[in-house]
Amino acid sequence: MAKLKIGDLEKIREKVRKTAGLRQGKSRGKVTVHMGTCGIAAGARGILTAVMDQLEASEIKDVIVATSGCAGLCSREPMATVEITGNPPVKYVDLTPEKIRKILDEHIVNGNIVEKNALAIGSERTY
């Protein structure tokens, strides 16, 4: 059986382990990508991949990435909810990978809500 070659995992483990201390502290915030059937059909997977890439590229270690289901606004998918710990969550709509990258830069790094892509402040039930 041709298993995934996991030899290089050792290297990755060492690299990540060095920054693990940073992660164990309080998280700065949370990004939730809506991953219902509607979201997936509209491109939510690419949004989540862009979030992961951006966090890795910017070396942001204290932001949690999660997924949720349909928020009941399928026509505005892909959607994501960005929350800075202690502040109300902001829902962003009609996303593209480029838009979410800019939003992460502005909202997570600089603390400014990107109003032109935002729908509302508040949260649906997540799972």
Contact positions toward another protein, by CB under 8 A? 1-6, 8-10, 12-13, 15-17, 20, 23, 35-38, 40-41, 45-46, 48-49, 52-53, 55-56, 65-67, 69-70, 72, 127
Nearer to another protein, 67 or 81 (CB): 67
Q: For residue 107, give the nearest of 98, 118, 97, 120 by alpha carbon.
A: 118
**Least separation, in Å, of the C-beta of 53 and another protein?**
7
**Least separation, in Å, of the C-beta of 115 and another protein?**
27
User: CA dist 36 to 12, 25, 102, 112, Å?
Assistant: 31, 31, 23, 27
8 A C-beta contact, residue 62 and residue 68: no
What is the distance of C-alpha 18 from the center of its chain? 22
Question: Quick count: other Cβ atoms within 10 Å of Cβ 26?
Answer: 7
Nearer to another protein, 3 or 26 (CB): 3
φ, ψ for residue 124, nearest 5 deg: -90, 175
**Least separation, in Å, of the C-beta of 66 and another protein?**
8
Nearer to another protein, 49 or 85 (CB): 49
Nearer to another protein, 20 or 120 (CB): 20
**Least separation, in Å, of the C-beta of 118 and another protein?**
23
Residues 6+ apart with CB under 8 A from 11: none
